[in-house]
């Protein structure tokens, strides 16, 4: 049994430690070491005991955390899927169950919930000094230039999948403007975390006039990046920018009151992507006029989770392109670096954080 240092939590009880746990991995076809692992709200939710759906693999009282990662291949038994030792790879988080969607590579659309997620539900995650995996779940990173920002592949694949759903939803009417583009169409992203930034960049790629909003101001570093990307920030508690309405609303907050506020300003044939989750957000009132508003304007509400292999591939392509376009600005999304031993990052969040990562070389 391989004893390796891992960042673990006795899910779903909550808590976090950096310690050795025994997980057999030596006979797996590919052996990996993490380069960077990202921290997100899900990891913090598991650590503070708020995510009751998190659980340990059978026979374990600890769950190795970590689902956002970029890893180095230590060894590969065969060269299946072109994976060779020395490669940088991103492992997929979700692993298929037995339903038809899972059986055809779309566990992101699992129809019975019988799937597993690394570092979250019944499968050890990637915050381990060394671990094993199967080549079919590894996405090869073709350029060393995205060694750092490659850790954003996993959060970005969610964005890629959501936009795939948006493409389907927007086909029901003419969604472009009088120039056949989206330059006169307005997208609003609610929230200013890393996932919101990635959604805003994608909106800009599509050509939307893109605004990002929160209920507090953002710091200089964030403002500089938003300027470079052509994204406008406003504080919705102080300013209103919805006189022209919204054609695409993307929520990363999970707050019903905020979502409803922007829903009420959504244009005809508009799309609303719900991505953020917050089980502790307060309830809000929705009345008959809201239902009438949604119906009369053909508003499409989209819930979207996770992404498939194809979305990881698109995320890697976008990161390479954005890296060329934005350079150090893109790298500035990674605001904090921690050593694996320093687990304080799971219980504290710096207000200036966009993305915190664990640097496994520290």
Exposure string (b/e) for 30-59, b if CB count within 10 Å is 16 or more? bbbbbbbbbbbbbbbbbbeebbeebbbeee
Nearer to Zn ion, 90 or 110 (CB): 110
Q: What is the DSSP string of 168-191?
A: HHHTTS--S-TTSSSTT-EEEEE-
Chain residues 93-112 in contact with Zn ion, contact rule CB under 5 A: 97, 99, 102, 110
* Mode of pairing for the β-strands spanning 186-190 and 246-251: parallel
Query: What is the size of the binding site for Zn ion (CB under 5 A)?
Result: 5
Instruction: Determine the interface stretch with Zn ion among 114-122, 198-206, 308-316, 346-354 (rule: CB under 5 A).
Output: 114-122
Cβ closest to Zn ion, residue 115 vs residue 314 = 115
Between 102 and 229, name the residue whose CB sits nearer to Zn ion: 102
Residue 109 CB, nearest approach to Zn ion (Å): 8
| Residue 188-227 contact track with Zn ion, rule CB under 5 A, x = bound | ----------------------------------------
Nearest one of 162, 168, 138 to 316, comparing CA atoms:
138
The answer to the question of residue 308 lying near Zn ion (CB under 5 A) is no
Pairing of strands 209-214, 231-235: parallel
β-pair type (355-359, 30-39): antiparallel
Closest CB to Zn ion among residues 107, 192: 107
Q: Using CB atoms within 10 Å of the CB of residue 126, give its burial: 0 to 12 exposed, 13 to 18 middle, 19+ buried.
A: buried
Closer of 53 and 284 to Zn ion (Cβ) = 53
Rounded to a whole number of angstroms, the minimum distance from the CB of residue 111 to Zn ion is 6
The least CB distance from residue 113 to Zn ion, in Å, is 7
CB atoms within 10 A of CB 307: 30
For Zn ion, what does the binding mask look like between residues 10 and 49, x meaning CB under 5 A?
A: ----------------------------------------
Q: How far apart are CA 66 and CA 239, in angstroms?
A: 38
What residues make contact with Zn ion under the rule CB under 5 A?
97, 99, 102, 110, 115
């Amino acid at each position: 049994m391989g004893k390796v240092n891992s960042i673990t939590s006795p899910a779903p009880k909550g808590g976090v430690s950096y310690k050795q746990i025994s997980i057999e991995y030596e006979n797996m076809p590919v052996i990996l070491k993490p380069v960077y692992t990202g921290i997100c709200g899900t990891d913090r939710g598991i650590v503070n005991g708020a995510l009751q759906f998190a659980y340990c693999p059978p026979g374990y009282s600890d769950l190795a955390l970590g689902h956002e990662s970029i890893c180095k291949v230590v060894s590969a038994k065969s060269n299946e899927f072109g994976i060779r030792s020395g490669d940088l790879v991103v492992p997929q988080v979700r692993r298929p169950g037995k339903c038809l969607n899972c059986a055809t590579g779309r566990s992101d659309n699992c129809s019975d919930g019988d799937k597993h997620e690394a570092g979250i539900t019944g499968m050890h995650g990637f915050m381990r000094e060394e671990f094993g995996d199967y080549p079919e779940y590894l996405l090869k990173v073709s350029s060393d230039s995205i060694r750092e920002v490659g850790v954003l592949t996993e959060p970005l694949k969610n964005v890629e999948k959501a936009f795939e759903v948006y493409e389907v939803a927007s086909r029901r009417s003419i969604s472009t403007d009088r120039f056949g583009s989206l330059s006169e169409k307005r997208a609003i992203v609610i929230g200013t975390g890393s996932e919101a930034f990635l959604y805003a960049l994608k909106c800009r790629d599509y050509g939307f006039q893109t605004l990002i909003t929160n209920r507090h101001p953002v710091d200089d570093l964030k403002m500089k990046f938003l300027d470079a990307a052509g994204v406008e920030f406003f504080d919705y508690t102080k300013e209103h920018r919805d006189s022209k309405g919204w054609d695409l609303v993307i929520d990363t907050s999970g707050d019903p009151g905020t979502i409803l506020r922007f829903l009420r300003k959504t244009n005809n044939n508009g799309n609303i992507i719900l991505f953020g989750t917050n089980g502790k957000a307060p309830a809000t009132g929705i009345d008959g006029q809201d239902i009438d508003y949604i119906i009369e304007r053909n508003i499409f509400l989209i819930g979207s989770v996770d992404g498939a292999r194809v979305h990881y591939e698109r995320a890697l392509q976008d990161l390479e392109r954005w890296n060329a376009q934005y350079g150090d600005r893109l790298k500035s999304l990674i605001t904090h670096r921690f050593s694996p031993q320093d687990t304080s990052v799971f219980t504290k969040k710096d207000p200036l954080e966009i993305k915190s990562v664990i640097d496994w070389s520290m």
